[in-house]
Chain A
Amino acid sequence: MSGIRAVHPPRPSPGWIRYRRIKSAIGWALAGTALLILSVAMVQILLYVFLKGFHSLTPKIFTEDTVGVGGGLRNAILGTALLSGSAMILSALIGVAAGLYLSEFGEGRLGSLTRFLSDVLVGVPSIVLGFVGYVILTVWLRWQFSLAAGAITLAVLMLPYIVRSTELALRRVASGIRESAYALGCRDHQVVFKVLLKAAAPGIGTGILLALAISAGETAPLLYTAGWSNYGWSGHLIHEPVAYLTYVIWSFIGEPFHSAHALAYVAAFLITFVILLINLLARFLIASSPHSRL
């Protein structure tokens, strides 16, 4: 009768264990260094932009329009708010509706197609969107450089973000809530407006805010569509170019004048500050909501 022999695994030698411990320690040290490098770069960029910008910040910036490469940034600040604001409204209307479809009724072919293509649209370089905006809106429709052309181009850029974040926010709403609403006799639109949108509001709002932050920092889609103007917006949707902050950063830092550089620094400070603020607000919104968590 063959007895069962206990097989002892080979015991690792102390040297082998020490070697592995040292290797692991080195690994963690490298990983920590990577995080440290990132953090240092982050702090460096932020501090640099904030200090440079804050240094050149004067009340004149907010009260005067740009004159050549000097003056203030009132036109650009208003222009950025107008462009991103109207793009956000446009994109949120379409994007939330599309996100609703995807999450509630989007199990079919149209749903998966939209889902896949909006993921693809996220990856389309913003300059390509800008060029297409130029070809279709500025040239073909003869809108020239204008608020409408810039805002629509930005809206297309924001659309996939809003569609997908809306869908994700709605999917986090417990299905029991939907079932109860339908059981009480609600129609589709009542379920959506009275129940789902309320429950998912923080998540949807966060998505819209993050998309707004992205659009506010964009330059490439606007170069071909919004143009640049030394004047404030006078109320024309088309045929009137609009100023925006990111243009100042790109264009004025290349000018050989101190006043131009100062404006570029201030513009960079303002836009970075606003974007960080929107990001913080978005996180706060999602963290404070009882239904969903990021």
Chain B
Amino acid sequence: MWFRRLLAVFSLLVPLVLLAIAVFLTYYAWPAIHYNGLDFLWRETWNIGNQYANPVHRHGETVMPGARFGILFLIVGTLGSAFLALLMAFPLGLGAALFLSEVVPHRFGHLVSFFVELLAGIPSVVFGLWGIVFLIPFLGHHIFPVLAGMFPFIPFLARPTGSGYGLLTSSLVLCLMIVPFIAATLRDALRSQSTEMREAGISLGATRFEVATRILLPGQKTALVGATMLAFGRALGETMAVLMVSGNALNYLPHNIYSPISTMAAFIVAQLDSALADPTGMAMRSLAEIAVLLLVISFIINGAARLLIGTLKEHTL
């Protein structure tokens, strides 16, 4: 029995680590949560105050004069970029999964899927580098002006197209980062459907495409929804790649699809230095409040997705 107890102690470490993360982060962020109040979510400006004045006391906290913290622009940027990324990644991932599971011969298919899944292994920061050096000049000079020229009547697609750093670029990079996950999950879900289902469909006179989309896919609705939720969660929390290609907008709401944005995760890195410069520490604690929010969001999304699709399989790791 002693051995089982020993293993149980190690197993207990996982909940404990998560608990420690939540408790310490909330504890550290508490002065900011108290100072900023609920307005934190709706206010449009992040202002760490006058750094050359003497600290003042407001709402029972010590802050620099004029310090106001709001992250509405970050929430818009985070949700906007993640949603756009999902909008592109979902059809791409679904199409690739259908083709891989139903068309490509199994033996060859393993190779192709592995190849596509390698895309998920490329580090975020390398995506960011590729984004800065290749994607941004390419999009900014060749694609965005054409896109804006084609649809001048659609407000969020119209000019100005900016420098290439911005919402659409971030979404494209995010899309490439989450698509392998969607494709791999859906491919396995489709594969797991029995051959009898396919045979029954074919014998009813359905084409193979109809079998795949009308019979196999509806049977895997939960996997579809779960994978989409998890992919959305990943896009929300992605840091480095977005940090490098988003344009790091500060106190600025995007007015079209090319506008510079920033996301909650990227902002924590981008503002670290200036937050550390705040002698009252309120800026750091407000960054911690953003981290708390990210933690809560990831708890909700991952918890819900896991309750929906059950436990983890290998490729979703």
Q: Is A187 an interface residue (CB 8 A)?
A: yes
Cβ proximity bits B196-229 to A, threshold 8 Å, 1 near / 0 not: 0000000001011110010000000000000000
Indicate with 1 or 0, residue by residue over B96-130, a CB within 8 angstroms of chain A CB atoms.
10111001000000001011101101111111111
Q: Is the pair B302, A127 in contact by a Cβ cutoff of 8 Å? A: no
Stretch at the interface among B139-147, B249-257, B265-273: B265-273
Which residues from chain A contact B237 at a C-beta distance below 8 Å? Answer: 123-128
Tell me whether A35 and B302 are in contact in the complex, defined as CB-CB below 8 angstroms, given that A132-B25, A136-B24 are known contacts: no
Binary interface encoding of chain B residues 267-306 relative to chain A, with 1 for a CB under 8 A from any of its CBs, else 0: 0110010000000000000011001001100110111011
Tell me the minimal C-beta distance from A257 to chain B in angstroms: 15
Closest to A12 in B: B205
Is the Cβ of A249 less than 8 Å from the Cβ of B15? Answer: no
A residues 102-149 near B (Cβ < 8 Å) are: 102, 104-106, 110-111, 113-129, 131-132, 135-136, 140
Q: Does B160 contact A (CB under 8 A)?
A: no
* Interface residue A289 (Cβ < 8 Å from any Cβ of B): no
Using Cβ atoms and an 8 Å threshold, which residues of chain B touch A119? Answer: 302, 306, 311-312
Partner of A246 from the list B125, B207, B298 (CB cut-off 8 Å) is B125
Q: Which of B21, B129, B236, B238 has the most CB of A within 10 A?
A: B129
A34 touches B91 (CB 8 A): yes
List chain B residues, Cβ under 8 A from A115.
Answer: 311
B103, B129, B287: which contacts A253 (Cβ < 8 A)? Answer: B129
Q: In the docked arrangement, what's the CA distance between A115 and B303, Å?
A: 11
Q: Size band of the B side of the interface? A: 35 or more
Q: Does B239 contact A (CB under 8 A)?
A: yes
Contact B312 A164 (CB under 8 A): yes
Which A36-91 residues have a C-beta within 8 angstroms of B? 37-39, 41-42, 44-46, 48-49, 52
Choose among B103, B126, B240, B272 the residue that contacts A224 (Cβ–Cβ < 8 A). B272
Residue among A159, A224, A268 facing the most chain B CB atoms (10 A cut-off): A268
* Complex CA distance for A131 and B295, rounded to whole angstroms: 11
In the complex, are the beta carbons of B210 and A34 less than 8 A apart? Answer: no
By a CB distance below 8 angstroms, the chain B residues around A268 are 125-126, 129
A156 within 8 A of B: yes
What's the A-B contact tally at a CB cutoff of 8 Å?
268
Contact A48 B130 (CB under 8 A): yes
Q: Per-residue CB proximity of A192-228 to B under 8 Å, as 1/0? A: 1000000000000001001001101111100110000
A246 and B130 within 8 A (CB):
no
In-complex Cβ contact of A294 among B14, B100, B236, B314 (8 A): B314
Q: Is the CB of A35 within 8 A of B21?
A: no
A258 at the interface (CB under 8 A from B): no
Contact A31 B99, CB 8 Å, known A102-B11, A217-B124, A220-B269: yes
Q: Does A291 interact with chain B (Cβ within 8 Å)?
A: no
Nearest CB of chain A from residue B96's CB, rounded to whole Å: 4
Contact of A117 among B18, B125, B230, B243 (CB under 8 A): B18
A132-B95 contact in complex given A110-B12, A127-B291, C-beta closer than 8 Å: no
Decide yes or no: A31 and B96 within 8 Å by CB, A94-B10, A98-B14, A111-B11 being known contacts.
yes
CA distance A283 to B121 in the complex (A): 13
Kindly specify which of B1-9, B31-39, B148-156, B163-171 makes contact with the partner chain: B1-9
Which B residue sits closest to A168, measured CB to CB?
Answer: B314
- Asked if A114 meets B11 with Cβ closer than 8 Å, knowing A38-B116, A253-B129, the reply is yes
CB of B67 closer than 8 Å to a CB of A = no
CB contacts (< 8 Å) of A159 on chain B: these are 13-14, 17
How far apart are B314's CB and chain A's nearest CB, in angstroms? 6
Q: Determine if B317 is an interface residue (Cβ-Cβ < 8 Å).
A: yes
In the complex, B28 has a CB within 8 A of chain A: yes
Indicate if A163 sits at the interface (CB-CB under 8 A): yes
Give A41 Cβ to nearest chain B Cβ, in Å: 6
Contacts of B291 in A (CB 8 A): 127-128, 131-132
Complex formed: what's the CA distance from A120 to B300 in Å?
A: 9
Find out whether the CB atom of A187 lies under 8 angstroms from the CB atom of B3: yes
The answer to whether A250 and B240 touch across the interface, beta carbons within 8 angstroms, is: yes
Given that A120-B18, A253-B132 are contacting pairs, would A220 and B265 also be in contact in the complex, using a CB cutoff of 8 Å? yes
CB distance from B298 to the nearest CB of A (A): 5
With A125-B237, A128-B295 as given contacts, are A32 and B103 in contact (CB-CB < 8 Å)?
Answer: yes
A223 to chain B, nearest CB (A): 6
B125–A161 CB distance below 8 A? no
Q: How long is the Cα–Cα vector from A58 to B133 in the complex, in angstroms?
A: 21
Shortest Cβ distance from B22 into A: residue: A132
CB of A279 closer than 8 Å to a CB of B: yes
B41 contacts the other chain (CB 8 A):
no
Can you give 24 contacting A-B residue pairs, CB < 8 Å?
A25-B209, A28-B99, A35-B100, A38-B119, A42-B116, A45-B130, A48-B134, A110-B12, A120-B303, A124-B18, A124-B302, A125-B237, A125-B238, A125-B239, A125-B294, A128-B25, A129-B21, A131-B288, A132-B25, A163-B14, A165-B314, A250-B240, A253-B132, A253-B133
Known: A32-B95, A39-B112, A123-B302. 6 other contacts (CB 8 A): A38-B92, A98-B10, A104-B7, A125-B238, A161-B317, A210-B317
What 8 pairs across the A-B complex have the smallest Cβ distances? A125-B237, A217-B123, A34-B95, A123-B302, A24-B209, A97-B10, A101-B7, A31-B95
